[in-house]
Amino acid sequence: MNSDNAVSVGKPVLWDELIARKLADALSVLPITPNHITLLTLLLTLIAGLLFATGDPWPANIAALLFMIVRLLDHVDGELARLKQSNSSFGHYFDWFVDTFSYAYLFLTLAIGFQDKMNTALLLIITSLAVSACLANTVIGLYKEKLTPANPSPSFPTFAGFGIDDSMYLIGPITWLGFLFYFFILCAIGSVIYIVTVIVKFILSSEK
């Protein structure tokens, strides 16, 4: 969950970043701006969420595919901005907003779809914590960006060309296999654990 979409020098190149770079290369000859891609990401996120909220398997299958596309497009807009040298303050914060919204909206709409599968109070607590984690991650990220503009984004663990946030691509096959509910619970818990580690690291680094 971060807004560092462009491939940075010295940063591990991940598989989805390589694919995003190829797509951005193809799109760079068209009159398409990075903000257009970010807007498309937002629209696909809205559609995917509405489908997830139905709680029905087939709409969820389509929504999962859309969300996988959303995660890839989250890299494409940054790559396109790099190629066209069209970075802007609006585009930067628009990307931050859409990235945060997509995760928070995912948790909310999945919770709506699963309201008959779990105790309402427990579902509300888990969803609230997950959404709060998304918002807290953005607040900390923007604050760190203000303090250290050259390296604002967190460094995610990587292995064999995959980052920890690439686990969200699994939403497709896991949904198609019928295990979306368990994926939702694990991701919600994982997001809370992740933000706790981010907050602890942030506090420790601030004390140095």
- Each domain of the chain, given as residue ranges in start order, spans 15-152+161-207
Residue 152 in contact with residue 145, Cβ under 8 Å? Answer: yes
Q: Give the three-class secondary structure for 158.
A: strand
State percent of the chain over pLDDT 90.
Answer: 63
What does the alpha-carbon distance between residue 45 and residue 42 come to, in Å, rounded to a whole number?
5
State percent of the chain over pLDDT 70.
Answer: 86
pLDDT of 83 higher than 50: yes
Residues near 179 by beta carbon (within 8 Å), at least 6 away in sequence: none
CA max distance for the chain = 51
pTM value is: 0.85
Half-sphere exposure (CA, 13 Å, Cβ side) for 86? 17
CATH architecture of 15-152+161-207: Up-down Bundle (1.20)
Instruction: Give the Å distances, CA to CA, from 97 to 49, 176, 205.
Output: 16, 29, 25
